Amino acid sequence: MGKWLLLALIGWVSFPLWASDVMREARMAAEIREALLVGEPVMLSSGDTEFLAIFAEETTDTSQGAAIILHGRGAHPDWMEVINPLRSQLPDYGWKTLSLQMPIAAADAPDEHYAALIPEAAPRIMAAVDYLKQQGVTNVVLIAHSLGAKMGVAYLAQGIPDELKAFVAVGLPSDRKRTDQGTLADLAKIKLPLLDLYGSRDIDAVLNSVKARAAAAKRAENGDYRQREVEGADHFFTGLDDALVAQVRAWIGRVAPGEQVRQ
């Protein structure tokens, strides 16, 4: 925790105008509460920061465990692309879902300043794991999209809690030329069942680094790393929600089975 707080502080000092925009988060939270159809809003705390999460119980007689879900750049925990399909449909297959509001920058922040948000994500993921532990959940998977996937990789590179059994990175962008720092360097530290899922029509930062990501996982000697391309899918799996959910649920059900009768 100390290392992450130090990195977050460095981010604030380096980019004081572009760190997480808490007012924007608050506006999003209010809008989500009014429109929420599946799940219940919960407020989690990481240090001095409170943030919104959406918790949904499984709808089945058995429970597989829980999935923590992280959205991408500028989005929110009920984002209609990628996030809502996963968080609202996985409960039908026995998974609780806990979708988190991740740190977001101001709406007009330039691309290069989003990197400053990555260290701010770890305390939120830790808070989510703790929340699920308090619910008695010991089988947890992490599912993340785009910038959220980069945040998930950075978090896992620092250490993996016992409860966390697998990671799905959807549309993970990486700089293929920077193997000694950033996302590729973090991937080279992770030994955890990891599905690297992307579309054949994904953005360049994802498609151009496919081989580099596989090489990083090989350096980690991660025998449980898998890459999978979904034909026809763009970065947001537009029109392919069912294919996205099917890919994710099949894989986490295979590598992180935790089925038990609900109490």
Q: Where are the domains of the chain?
A: 2-256
pLDDT tens digits, the chain, 263 residues: what are they? 444 444 434 333 333 444 688 889 999 999 999 889 899 999 999 888 899 999 999 999 999 999 999 999 989 999 999 999 999 999 999 999 999 999 998 888 887 778 889 999 999 999 999 999 999 999 999 999 999 999 999 999 999 999 999 999 999 999 988 887 899 999 999 999 999 999 999 999 999 999 999 999 999 999 999 999 999 999 999 999 999 999 999 999 999 998 664 55
pLDDT at site 149: 98
Measured torsion, CA atoms of residues 11, 13, 17, 19, in degrees rounded to the nearest 10: 30
What is the phi-psi region of residue 188: left when phi exceeds 0, alpha when psi lies from -120 to 50, beta otherwise? alpha
The answer to whether the CB of 170 falls within 8 A of the CB of 198 is: yes
The number of CA neighbours under 13 Å toward the Cβ of 239 is 5
Q: Cα–Cα distance between 234 and 224 in angstroms, integer?
A: 25
Predicted local distance difference test score (pLDDT) of residue 260: 64
Q: Of 149, 131, 148, whose CA–CA distance to 140 is shortest?
A: 131
Whole-angstrom distance, CA of residue 110 vs CA of residue 113: 6
pLDDT of residue 11: 38
The span from the CA of 134 to the CA of 213, in Å, is 34
Could you give the angle at the alpha carbon of 57 between the alpha carbons of 60 and 77, nearest 5°? 130
Per-residue confidence (pLDDT) for residue 262, from 0 to 100: 53
How much of the chain is in helix, strand and coil states, percent to nearest 5? 40, 25, 35
- CATH code at 2-256: 3.40.50.1820
